[in-house]
């Protein structure tokens, strides 16, 4: 008895100490462990009371405490096992059922004093002769044992399944609980079947509780972490080397062994000297380095590779050096890919020269770094390059571009920057003192027969002297390209130089472009109307022409700014404004009851690329409630030079909406009968270039007469524009022309003046 009581007391003391430790701990499972240990104290303490009890009353109370404590302890073991093994439990039906069974069993056990269905007591003697109040099982005791074994079995199954499914690396932390628990369960079963008076199996449960406390609250899995770290270090793709406090190599993972061609542990020491060479330090210097990171090429057993190398010295909590480690990260493929991507991003795919963005960047860097030296920016142009592609095919065109690139490379010095700007345009930046015109001309003539012996290639070069090195490079080469426009049709002159006149033209373009919005908002851009009349001067409508009252330049005619706006893409903004102005005028006339006049507005070829022309005109005429037949749309024959199908589709939409289409300037450009056949126009505006002085007036008149007649047969109305003399009116009238526009009848005049003369 003394041994039994001493053992129980020692276990109780240990459990109390563990309970205190669990109460202070902040580890995740500490709360579960705290309640489990508290419940373990109950049956353990109850056994000690039973062993010391002199009266049946005390013993009966102790046995009840034992049964209740056993239920609570085993339920807590289930709760701990699901949390420790990371099984979803809270809120589940499984949890509710277990709680219900446990509570019911405790309640039924507590009824034993009234029902006498669990146990009764009898006095007995131990082998040593000491008195002992023994439990005699009744029918419900077997049910209570069933509940206890069920809870124990659930705990054992959870840990068994987790053990089987876990890696060998972590299996031990589950076995360390499972084995003592199974032994304790077997021990308790042995006690029950042998009906021994003193229950030593509770010592086993106490041992299980101590194991639980140790692994859940105290134990820091150092060995496990060491194994995991070793596994991780061995499996990572980088090379890793560890050094001790004397800089001796004590470990190298498989990738580091491959880098240094290490075939056995005995060769580890050889890494040290090679690593010092890579670090470019000696024995003394390495001791002073705490951390270093650098990139270096290293020729190992599998060839030369580029590594990003990290070296870090390690210290303990007191600042004493305990060793170091180095990490070799293979950046070979990454750097190769980056170099390839950089090359692809900075070089032209076809010629291998710098592409435009990178070339411009290099030019700006050069000029910024060398602002005192004079440089020339040059741009090339191949005359009719598109025709070469069309006639000989794209491969021949590409081969020509490669030949041009080769000639540029072969004739350029180390001081010259060059690249492909776009299409057939190449750019060069050369110090002015190294520029020799004869060398350039000789290089150009090398390419005269580059396409074919029977095809004379014509290459022009524009030259711009860099006077402002802080300008954008693209502007400089635009100016060089601008110079070519002066000689583009010249078969003899190959090199053109940028002049102040070109600069003035550019400044004019900038002035026009920058002041358009303000001029429109202030009403300085305004519609002028030129009447369209019959031969007697009766007005049927008018063409809306734009005029610009410039603050500095005075009244500007369209020819001074329209081409600028078409070039920079703001023509669409102006045209839309003029269309809306015409709609306002027609709306005003309609409200006054004047519905017999129409207005013609111009549409630029560029509008179709910058606007959805049909949609814009539809919205404007709807907004101002304008009869679309009163707003006529003038287009020029040049509008059909490209994207024919897209424009024909737009014209068809406009006519379907009710607009009348007029072809302007017919006869002044490249008109042909094919234009009349394909273009869906309602009105033909015949340019009086046909009626100008000619060597054969009779033939000229016959052509005009035939055009007027043909237009009539096609249902196309003809307006003669540019009419300046009475003779022209008479002649055209005889030919069948009924409507006229020109200075003979009226000049373009402001809206107010037009309304005074012709409206109302």
What's the CATH number where 99 sits? 1.20.1070.10
Q: Is there a contact between 715 and 744 (Cβ–Cβ < 8 Å)?
A: no
Residue 81 CA to residue 77 CA, distance in Å, equals 6
Asked if pLDDT for residue 234 goes beyond 70, the answer is: no
Query: What angle (nearest 5°) sits at the alpha carbon of residue 392, between those of residues 386 and 395?
Result: 85
Mapped onto helix, strand or coil, the DSSP state of residue 466 is: coil
Residue 68 CA to residue 57 CA, distance in Å, equals 17
Number of C-beta neighbours around residue 14 at 10 A: 16
- Residue where a domain terminates, one of 276, 307, 335: 335
In a shared domain, residues 572 and 622: yes
Q: How confident is the model at residue 223 (pLDDT cuts 50, 70, 90)?
A: very low
In a shared domain, residues 408 and 313: no
Helix 500-521 × helix 473-484 angle, to 10° = 110
Element (H, E) at 340: helix 332-346
423 DSSP 8-state letter: T
Residue 737 CA to residue 717 CA, distance in Å, equals 8
In DSSP terms, which residues pair with 684 in a beta bridge? 663, 718
Cα distances (angstroms) measured from residue 240 to each of 253, 287, 289, 491, 583: 6, 19, 18, 70, 79
Element (H, E) at 743: none
Cα distances (angstroms) measured from residue 724 to each of 478, 577, 686, 701: 41, 30, 13, 17
CATH of the domain at 591: 3.20.20.450
Query: Is 224 inside any structural domain?
Result: no
In a shared domain, residues 213 and 237: no
Element (H, E) at 380: strand 375-382
- Residue where a domain terminates, one of 281, 308, 335: 335
pLDDT tens readout for residues 682-736: 999 888 766 665 567 788 788 888 888 888 888 899 999 989 889 889 989 988 8
Number of domains making up the chain: 4
Residue 143 CA to residue 139 CA, distance in Å, equals 7
Residue 479 CA to residue 485 CA, distance in Å, equals 10
Q: How confident is the model at residue 674 (pLDDT cuts 50, 70, 90)?
A: low
In a shared domain, residues 550 and 424: no
Residue 171 CA to residue 265 CA, distance in Å, equals 30
Query: Is 341 inside any structural domain?
Result: no
pLDDT tens readout for residues 2-34: 777 888 888 889 889 988 988 888 777 788 888
CATH of the domain at 398: 3.30.70.270
Asked if pLDDT for residue 633 goes beyond 90, the answer is: yes
* Phi, psi (deg, nearest 5) at residue 82: -70, -35
* pLDDT greater at residue 425 or residue 303: 425
Number of C-beta neighbours around residue 267 at 10 A: 14
Q: What are the residues whose beta carbons fall under 8 Å from the beta carbon of 135, sequence distance 6 or more? A: 63, 119, 120, 121
Token pair for residue 760? Answer: 């109302």
Residue 677 CA to residue 679 CA, distance in Å, equals 6
Category of 631 on φ-ψ map: left (φ > 0), alpha (ψ -120 to 50) or beta: beta
Mean pLDDT of 98-109: 92
Query: Is 507 inside any structural domain?
Result: no
Mapped onto helix, strand or coil, the DSSP state of residue 17 is: helix
Q: What are the residues whose beta carbons fall under 8 Å from the beta carbon of 271, sequence distance 6 or more? A: 241, 249, 252, 256, 260, 262
Q: Is there a contact between 433 and 376 (Cβ–Cβ < 8 Å)?
A: no
Separation of CA 476 from chain center? 33
Asked if pLDDT for residue 396 goes beyond 80, the answer is: yes
Token pair for residue 743? Answer: 């200075």
Residue 72 CA to residue 32 CA, distance in Å, equals 12
Query: What angle (nearest 5°) sits at the alpha carbon of residue 409, between those of residues 403 and 410?
Result: 90
Least confident segment among 58-67, 382-391, 748-757: 382-391
Asked if pLDDT for residue 238 goes beyond 60, the answer is: yes
Query: Is 505 inside any structural domain?
Result: no
Query: Is 508 inside any structural domain?
Result: no
Q: What are the residues whose beta carbons fall under 8 Å from the beta carbon of 22, sequence distance 6 or more? A: 30, 31, 33, 34, 37, 213, 217
In a shared domain, residues 422 and 378: yes
Least confident segment among 215-219, 223-227, 455-459: 223-227
Query: Is 590 inside any structural domain?
Result: yes
Going by DSSP bridges, is the β-strand pair 131-137/119-125 parallel, antiparallel, or unpaired?
A: antiparallel
Q: What is the CA radius of gyration of the chain?
A: 51
pLDDT at position 646 is: 87
- The rounded mean pLDDT for the chain is 84
Token pair for residue 383? Answer: 């005359």
Length of the chain: 760
Q: What are the residues whose beta carbons fall under 8 Å from the beta carbon of 342, sequence distance 6 or more? A: none
Burial class (CB in 10 A: 0-12, 13-18, 19+), 266: exposed
Mapped onto helix, strand or coil, the DSSP state of residue 687 is: strand
pLDDT tens readout for residues 576-597: 999 999 999 999 999 999 989 9
pLDDT tens readout for residues 29-53: 788 888 888 988 998 888 888 888 8
Q: Is there a contact between 683 and 689 (Cβ–Cβ < 8 Å)?
A: no
pLDDT at position 224 is: 47
pLDDT tens readout for residues 344-370: 888 999 999 999 999 999 999 999 988
Residue 268 CA to residue 245 CA, distance in Å, equals 15
Closest CA to 496 of 482, 506, 483, 481: 483
In a shared domain, residues 554 and 667: yes
Residue 98 CA to residue 154 CA, distance in Å, equals 10
| Residue whose pair of structure tokens reads 């061995």 in the numeric block | 234
558 DSSP 8-state letter: G
Q: Is there a contact between 223 and 169 (Cβ–Cβ < 8 Å)?
A: no
Q: Is there a contact between 602 and 562 (Cβ–Cβ < 8 Å)?
A: no
Least confident segment among 150-164, 225-239, 541-555: 225-239
pLDDT at position 760 is: 66
Closest CA to 239 of 332, 129, 371: 332
Mean pLDDT of 127-148: 84
Going by DSSP bridges, is the β-strand pair 539-550/554-556 parallel, antiparallel, or unpaired?
A: antiparallel
Separation of CA 462 from chain center? 40
Residue 109 CA to residue 111 CA, distance in Å, equals 5
Query: Is 408 inside any structural domain?
Result: yes
pLDDT at position 222 is: 46
List, as one string, the DSSP characters of 626-679: --GGGEEEEEEGGGGSS-HHHHHHHHHHHHHHTPPEEEEEETSSS--HHHHHHS
Query: Is 509 inside any structural domain?
Result: no
Q: Is there a contact between 464 and 480 (Cβ–Cβ < 8 Å)?
A: yes
In a shared domain, residues 609 and 477: no
Could you tell me the residue range of the domain that residue 654 belongs to?
518-758
Mean pLDDT of 102-126: 88
In a shared domain, residues 48 and 149: yes
pLDDT tens readout for residues 156-208: 898 888 888 876 656 777 787 788 778 877 877 777 666 666 666 777 778 88
In a shared domain, residues 522 and 547: yes
Residue 493 CA to residue 487 CA, distance in Å, equals 7
pLDDT tens readout for residues 401-433: 898 888 888 888 888 999 999 888 999 999 999
- Residue where a domain terminates, one of 291, 312, 335: 335
Asked if pLDDT for residue 328 goes beyond 70, the answer is: yes
In a shared domain, residues 142 and 30: yes
Residue 704 CA to residue 688 CA, distance in Å, equals 10
Whether the CA torsion 265, 266, 268, 271 is positive or negative: it is negative
In a shared domain, residues 270 and 135: no
List, as one string, the DSSP characters of 209-264: HHHHHIIIII---HHHHHHHHHHHHHHSSSEEEEE-TTS-EEEE-HHHHHHHT--S
Token pair for residue 596? Answer: 């017999």
Which regions of 258-302 does DSSP assign to beta strands (E)?
291-300
Cα distances (angstroms) measured from residue 484 to each of 379, 382, 401, 425, 496: 9, 11, 19, 11, 6
CATH of the domain at 294: 3.30.450.20
* pLDDT greater at residue 396 or residue 576: 576
Mapped onto helix, strand or coil, the DSSP state of residue 339 is: helix
In a shared domain, residues 493 and 639: no
Q: Is there a contact between 487 and 519 (Cβ–Cβ < 8 Å)?
A: no
Least confident segment among 227-231, 292-296, 497-501, 586-590: 227-231
433 DSSP 8-state letter: G
């Amino acid at each position: 008895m003394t041994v039994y009581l001493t053992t129980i007391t020692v276990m109780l003391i240990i459990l109390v100490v563990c309970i205190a430790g669990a109460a202070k701990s902040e580890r995740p499972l500490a709360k579960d462990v705290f309640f489990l240990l508290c419940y373990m104290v109950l049956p353990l303490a109850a056994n000690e009371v039973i062993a010391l009890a002199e009266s049946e009353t005390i013993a009966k109370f102790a046995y009840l405490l034992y049964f209740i404590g056993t239920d609570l302890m085993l339920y807590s073991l289930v709760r701990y096992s699901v949390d420790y093994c990371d099984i979803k439990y809270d809120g589940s039906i499984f949890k509710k059922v277990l709680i219900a069974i446990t509570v019911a069993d405790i309640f039924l056990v507590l009824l034993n004093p009234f029902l006498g269905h669990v146990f009764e007591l009898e006095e007995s003697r131990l082998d040593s002769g000491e008195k002992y109040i023994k439990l005699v099982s009744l029918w419900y005791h077997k049910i209570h044992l069933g509940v206890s074994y069920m809870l124990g079995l659930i705990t054992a199954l959870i840990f068994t399944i987790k053990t089987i499914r876990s890696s060998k690396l972590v299996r031990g932390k589950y076995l360390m609980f499972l084995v003592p628990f199974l032994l304790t369960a077997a021990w308790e079963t042995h006690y029950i079947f042998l009906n021994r008076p003193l229950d030593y199996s509770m010592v086993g449960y106490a041992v299980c509780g101590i194991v639980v406390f140790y692994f859940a609250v105290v134990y820091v899995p150092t060995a496990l972490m060491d194994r995991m770290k070793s596994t991780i270090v061995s499996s990572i793709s980088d090379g890793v080397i560890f050094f001790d406090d004397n800089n001796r190599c004590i470990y190298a993972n498989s990738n580091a062994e491959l880098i240094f061609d290490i075939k056995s542990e005995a060769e580890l020491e050889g890494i040290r000297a090679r690593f010092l060479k890579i670090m470019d330090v000696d024995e003394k210097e390495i001791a002073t380095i705490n951390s270093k990171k650098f990139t270096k090429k290293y020729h190992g057993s599998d060839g030369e590779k580029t590594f990003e190398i990290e070296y870090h010295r390690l210290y303990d909590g007191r600042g004493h050096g305990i060793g170091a480690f180095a990490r070799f990260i293979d950046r070979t493929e990454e750097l190769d890919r980056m170099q390839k991507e950089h090359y692809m991003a900075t070089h032209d795919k076809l010629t291998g020269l710098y592409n435009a963005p990178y070339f411009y960047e290099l030019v700006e860097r050069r000029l910024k770094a060398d602002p005192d030296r004079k440089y020339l920016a040059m741009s090339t142009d191949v005359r009719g390059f598109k025709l070469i592609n069309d006639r000989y095919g794209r491969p021949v065109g590409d081969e020509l571009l490669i030949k041009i690139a080769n000639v540029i490379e072969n004739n350029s010095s180390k001081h010259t920057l060059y690249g492909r700007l776009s299409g057939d345009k190449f750019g060069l930046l050369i110090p002015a003192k190294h520029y020799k015109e004869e060398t350039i001309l000789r290089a150009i003539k090398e390419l005269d027969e580059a396409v074919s012996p029977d095809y004379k290639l014509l290459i022009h070069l524009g030259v711009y002297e860099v006077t402002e090195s802080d300008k954008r490079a693209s502007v400089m080469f635009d100016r060089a390209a601008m110079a070519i426009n002066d000689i583009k049709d010249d078969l003899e002159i190959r090199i053109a130089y940028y002049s102040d006149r070109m600069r003035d033209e550019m400044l004019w373009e900038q002035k026009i472009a920058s002041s358009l919005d303000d001029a429109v908002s202030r009403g300085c851009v305004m519609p002028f109307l030129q009447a369209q009349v019959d031969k007697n001067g009766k007005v049927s409508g008018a063409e809306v022409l734009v005029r610009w009252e410039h603050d500095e330049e005075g009244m500007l005619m369209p020819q001074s700014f329209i081409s600028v706006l078409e070039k920079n893409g703001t023509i669409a903004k102006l045209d839309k404004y003029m269309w809306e102005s015409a709609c306002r005028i027609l709306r005003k006339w309609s409200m006054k009851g004047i519905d017999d006049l129409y207005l013609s507005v111009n549409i630029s070829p560029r509008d179709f690329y910058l606007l959805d022309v049909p949609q814009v005109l539809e919205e404007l005429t709807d907004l101002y409630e304008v009869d679309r037949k009163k707003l006529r749309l003038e287009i020029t024959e040049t509008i059909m030079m490209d994207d024919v199908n897209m424009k024909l589709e737009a014209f068809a939409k406009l006519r379907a909406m009710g607009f009348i289409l007029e072809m302007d300037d017919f006869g002044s450009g490249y008109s042909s009968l094919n234009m009349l056949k394909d273009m869906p126009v309602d009105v033909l505006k015949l340019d009086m270039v046909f009626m100008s002085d000619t060597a054969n007036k009779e033939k000229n008149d016959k052509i005009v007469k035939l055009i007027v007649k043909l237009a009539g047969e096609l249902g196309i109305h003809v307006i003669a524009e540019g009419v300046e003399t009475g003779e022209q009116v008479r002649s055209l009238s005889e030919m069948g022309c009924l409507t006229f526009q020109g200075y003979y009848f009226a000049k373009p005049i402001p809206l107010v003046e037009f309304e005074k003369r012709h409206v109302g």
